[in-house]
Amino acid sequence: MEDFTDDSFKNIGLFNNKDLADAGRFLITNDDGDKGRFKTPGLRNVGVTAPYMHDGRFKTLEQVVSYYNTPFMFVDDPVNIDVALKTPLGLSQQEKKDLVAFLKSLTDKAYLK
């Protein structure tokens, strides 16, 4: 069954080597490019796997979507943030609600067992 992940490691901007100092993959590889990188989780059943992020900082999918919509509103000096997140998504309120609804639709009760 598909778990909707690419199994890669990404830095989503929650590392600034100050108050956000969990270096992630770097602790394994000692490669500076891996600072702040964590494994991309699967999206299957993401609606029932709170809390979110590697440190559990977000309690709801709405908070996660708000973060990805404007990551620099949360962390203004991230180190090694993935290039895909350098430009805010600019989602409207309705688009954010639609995205959360889509993510919740990836729940499969058979897969939970």
With 70 as the cut, is the pLDDT of residue 113 above it? no
Amino acid at site 62: E
| Percent of residues, the chain, with pLDDT higher than 90 | 79
Q: What's the pLDDT band for 1 if we cut at 50, 70, 90? A: low
Q: What is the 3-state secondary structure (H, E, C) of 8-73?
A: CEECCCCCCCCCCCCCECHHHHCCHHHCCEEECCCCCCHHHCCCECCCCCECCHHHHHHHHHCHHH
pLDDT bin (cut points 50, 70, 90) of residue 3 is confident
Of 2, 30, 4, 22, residue with least CA distance to 79: 22
Domains of the chain: 9-112 (1.10.760.10)
- Give the three-state DSSP class for 94: helix
Whether residue 23 is predicted with pLDDT greater than 60 in this model: the reply is yes
